Structure 1
């Protein structure tokens, strides 16, 4: 015994035109004993693919008809030819009618040229949602796994392979880089005008900005491959306690100018206008030491507390070892711990001079005997 479900999709535009499409789903009662209850993922793919086909065809036809009207004389443009175009969406590939219109002969006499209106709204032969989803999955997991996830839950074609995921991810990344570069260029041109609109308030913590930056070395999976590269990851935000949020950026370029431009763009998103106290916090890597020198003044550079503590910890271990290896110095261990904590406290509170110039009392006792 079987039941046939028919789903009718109806669309109506502002002129009253109606577009209908029917989708049929067959369900067998015998499959209930196997636990097949309700609609499956495959059934949902069939329904969404049919709905997507109806909507995309209607929108493509409407836009093509709209672009056929000449904006100057409001007459129909001549027809060059009709072809088909396959548009990839998150709910499958939709084949639509792809007309090409000639330029208006009355408005552009002597010019023989044609254009495809669908290329204006879908230049990649794929919707922006599919491009974004593919790039997002490709950035979070291996390309092959991302392709399998897309095929598992979406009615995509077998041609959506890991190579397609990789190309789309790289393409979206290139577009984001171009967008950021354009925004940086636009913001750099308006820096002088913005400075005139801002009032410099000395001691205002709202004018304190912090850049926390680090590098990550990405090694190639193959031992003989040379595709190793370094990433720069940073968070740019306001200084002071209670200031949350901030802007993040990642770049594969270690060029001093490229890092500076990306940092300035991120700082402008949180209110930086070319003046104020900027602090760069890093692990002391050589490529990051060059950033404060390229930033607008005043810019200070400090090493993050984790790497400072890593430099202090070996001092305590060496002092402990020397105290235990010499007779009569075991009673100095509590003083060593206390003085090491004092050094950390002075460094944490910015009293660098005292941390360097005030030697502990037990330091002379640990000096090597000549």
Structure 2
């Protein structure tokens, strides 16, 4: 920190932040960031670092880290894994990588394929394309898609620019493209999960010895539905969600896997449930119990699951059915006690 003097009084403070990074080889990378703070702004309430100062610091730190990591990975990919020699250099270009803390321009070398491993092939590849194919970090893609799915695209773009050192090119069109791209990838992931889950649809019986109460053979699916209504009363964009938790049976079992889907098709719900069960150890055999509220849409799941699968109604909805009868019985008991107090039985004595 340095203080500039003017007229014998301290008028400004210059903060110099030095960023230093050291790799395993002992190489040191340093970068300095300068922040000017005027004491006259204290009277206006300008105390401490502002959002713009934070953007400047984080952008400089991100630039140093990304450049160092990109250089390290490029050097690692230059070594041929077969002959353990350096690959030939095709050329050196630059690549702009978009991150949550601004755009970083890094050197992007292209290496030639090893001729001993690939004889007769003259092909070059960019190593940075392997770790950043979208020219944007996965964190920025996820954050942009998350905001774009919860609010209008223009508002999401303004919020990103308000708190993050992003470039003016991060417009509503960019937010829309990234949101759609992430949605398409999620759809592809769901389709792949369903494809793998269909191999578990064969009905099987437990071939091992039946052990009552063995929690390793018990799997529970707690499933329910939620109806999402549109904020606009005149809109017809209402849909239904299926929310479920898949885990082990027995008391005290923690964890489990959750999934949410808007597809209420019988096969889609079954495939998502089987994929979640595999994450907790389901291998196609074992006792599966489906707990739901008895809705018609949820009765499809037990019929589509591998056998043996049992379907029961959860205690909350059973209590909702029993509670009215309990209330009627209590009301009848109270009414009878009140009537007995008002009209006690009269005893008639007879004399001989």
- Output the TM-score relative to the length of structure 1: 0.70
More helix by share: 1
Q: Bigger shift: 216-225 or 316-325?
A: 316-325
> Which secondary structure does the structure 2 equivalent of 1:185 belong to?
helix
Q: Bigger shift: 103-112 or 123-132?
A: 103-112
Conserved in 2, the CA contact under 8 Å of 1:322 and 1:366? no
Shift of 1:83: 2.9
Shift of 1:253: 2.0
Q: Distance in 2 between matches of 1:154 and 1:64?
A: 28
Shift of 1:157: 2.3
> Which secondary structure does the structure 1 equivalent of 2:252 belong to?
coil
Q: Distance in 1 between matches of 2:310 and 2:156?
A: 42
Cα distance, 1:172–1:314 mapped onto 2, change above 3 Å: same
Conserved in 2, the CA contact under 8 Å of 1:194 and 1:273? no
- Show structure 2 runs of 5+ residues with no match: 1-10, 337-345
Residues 216-245 of structure 1 deviation map (CA, whole Å, 9 limit, x = unaligned): 344556788776543221122334444444
Conserved in 1, the CA contact under 8 Å of 2:78 and 2:87? yes
Q: Bigger shift: 316-325 or 197-206?
A: 316-325
- Output the TM-score relative to the length of structure 2: 0.73
Conserved in 1, the CA contact under 8 Å of 2:160 and 2:166? yes
Shift of 1:325: 16
Shift of 1:89: 1.1
Cα distance, 1:29–1:315 mapped onto 2, change above 3 Å: same
Residues 238-295 of structure 1 deviation map (CA, whole Å, 9 limit, x = unaligned): 3444444432101232221221121122223334343443332334443322111111
Corresponding position of 2:217: 207
Corresponding position of 2:177: 167
Conserved in 2, the CA contact under 8 Å of 1:209 and 1:277? yes
Q: Distance in 1 between matches of 2:116 and 2:309?
A: 63
Q: Distance in 1 between matches of 2:153 and 2:209?
A: 50
Cα distance, 1:82–1:199 mapped onto 2, change above 3 Å: farther
Conserved in 1, the CA contact under 8 Å of 2:203 and 2:307? no
Shift of 1:72: 3.8
Cα distance, 1:112–1:318 mapped onto 2, change above 3 Å: same
Cα distance, 1:206–1:19 mapped onto 2, change above 3 Å: closer
Q: Distance in 2 between matches of 1:245 and 1:265?
A: 16
Cα distance, 1:256–1:193 mapped onto 2, change above 3 Å: closer
Conserved in 2, the CA contact under 8 Å of 1:210 and 1:237? yes
Shift of 1:137: 4.7
Shift of 1:92: 1.1
Conserved in 1, the CA contact under 8 Å of 2:205 and 2:307? no
Cα distance, 1:245–1:319 mapped onto 2, change above 3 Å: same
Shift of 1:213: 1.8
Q: Distance in 2 between matches of 1:205 and 1:17?
A: 54
Conserved in 2, the CA contact under 8 Å of 1:218 and 1:229? yes
Shift of 1:25: 0.8
> Which secondary structure does the structure 1 equivalent of 2:351 belong to?
coil
| Higher RCO (C-alpha under 8 Å, 6+ residues apart) | 2
Conserved in 1, the CA contact under 8 Å of 2:203 and 2:306? no
Conserved in 1, the CA contact under 8 Å of 2:79 and 2:87? yes
Shift of 1:155: 1.4
Shift of 1:95: 1.3
- Show structure 1 runs of 5+ residues with no match: 327-363
Shift of 1:303: 4.0
Cα distance, 1:214–1:49 mapped onto 2, change above 3 Å: same
Cα distance, 1:321–1:162 mapped onto 2, change above 3 Å: farther
Shift of 1:159: 3.3
Q: Bigger shift: 128-137 or 259-268?
A: 128-137
